[in-house]
Amino acid sequence: MAQSNEEIKVGVVVAISAALFLGALIFVGGVNVFRKQKAQYTTYFKFAGGLEPGSVVRFGGLKVGVVKTAALDPGDNTRVRMTVEVDHNIPIRTNSKARISSLGFLGENYLEISAGTRDAALLPAGSEIPSVEIVQISDVFNNVNNITVNATKLVNDLDDRVLSLSDNANLLIHNLNGVVSPENKDHFSSVLANSDDMLKESRPHLEKTITNLEAASGKVAPTIDNVNGTIGRADKLTGHLDEVIEENRQQLHDTLVRLQASLADAQKMINNLDDTLGSNRENLDETLENIRVSSENLKELTDTLKQRPYSLIRIKSEKDRVPPTGK
C-alpha cells in the first residue's frame, strides 16, 4: 500500500514536470502549440519610426500581430526591412498598404495595414506589402522654419519695394505739383490762346489754298483718265498682237502709227498739264501774297478804328483847334 502511494506521488511529480517543461517550451521557446496559426509578410521603410521587434501590428485599427524583425535591408542599406507576423485569417489584399501610425499625438507608433478594396485578390503569405512613408515631425518643423524664413525675406523685400515706391510716388507728386503750378497754368493758357489766334488767322488762307489745289486736281483727273484709257487699249492690243501679226500686218502697222500719234497727244497733254500746274503755282503764290497784304491792310484798318472810331462817320478829320490870340 505504501509502495502505491509512492508511485502516485512520483507520477504526479512527473506530470507536473512535464507540464512545466511544455509551458516553458511554449512561452519561452516560442513553440506554437496552442496559439493560432500565423502568416508572415515583409515590408520596407526609409524611416522605421521607432518600430522594433515586438511592436504592434494593426489591421483596420485592430491588433492582429507583431513585428518580428526590423533591420537594415542587406540588398539596400538605405531602407529598413521589417518582417511582420499576423493571424493567418487576416484578409490582407494586393492593394493593402503598410504605414507607420500612432494612436493619438503622444501614443506609441505601430504598424498599420490598410484593408484595401473588396474586389482585390488576397496577398499570399510571405509576400511583400507595399509601404507608404510617413512625414516626420522634424521635416514638418524644417518646412515650417523654411517657410517662415522665406516669408520674413519676402516681407523685408516688400518693405523695401514699398519704400522705393513711396519715394517714387512722392517724387512724382512733387513733379506734378511743379507742372500744375499757377505760373505753368498761365503759361499753358497763353500758349493755347496764341495757337488759337494763329489758327484763326491762317484758316482762310489754308482754305483758299486747298480750294485751288482741288480745282487743279480736278483738271488733272480727266487727263489721267485719258492716259489710263490709252494705256489700257495699248495693253489690250499688245495681248492680241501675236494672233494678228501674221494676218493683218498692214493693219497692225497702221494701228501702231495711230498708237504713236495717240501717245504723242498724251505726251502733249501731260506737258500742257505741267504748264497748267506751273502757271497755277504762280497764281497760288500771288493769291497768298494778296491775302497777306489784305490781312495787313485789314489789321491797319482795325487799329485805326480802335484809335479813331469816328473816322467811319466823318469824311475827314477835324483840324486841331488854334487857341485865340489877343489884339
Query: Domain segments of the chain: what residues?
Result: 35-136, 200-312
| Beta pairing class for 98-102 and 109-113 | antiparallel
Pick from 124, 44, 54: which is nearest to 82 by CA? 44
Burial 34-55 (b: 16+ CB within 10 A, else e): eeeebbebbbbbeebbebeeeb
Contacts made by residues 65-74, CB under 8 angstroms, sequence distance 24+: 65/38, 65/90, 67/111, 68/40, 73/44
- Say which amino acid occupies 311: S
Q: Please report, in tens digits, the pLDDT of each residue of the chain (327 residues total).
A: 556 777 777 777 788 888 887 777 666 555 555 556 899 999 999 988 888 999 999 998 899 999 999 999 999 989 999 999 999 999 999 999 999 988 877 778 999 999 999 999 999 999 999 999 876 655 666 666 677 777 777 777 777 777 788 788 778 777 767 666 677 667 767 777 777 777 777 777 777 777 877 777 777 667 777 777 777 777 777 777 666 566 667 776 787 888 888 888 888 888 877 777 676 777 767 777 888 888 888 888 777 777 776 665 654 555 555 566 654
Name the CA dihedral angle for 120, 124, 130, 131, rounded to a multiple of 10 degrees: 110
The DSSP annotation for 80-127 comes to EEEEEEEETT---BTT--EEEEESSSSSPEEEEE----TTSPBPPTTP
Which grid coordinates belong to 180? 500744375
- Angstrom distances, CA of residue 49 to CA of 55, 57, 71, 75, 304: 11, 14, 13, 21, 111
Burial of 127 (C-beta count, 10 Å sphere; 0-12/13-18/19+)? middle
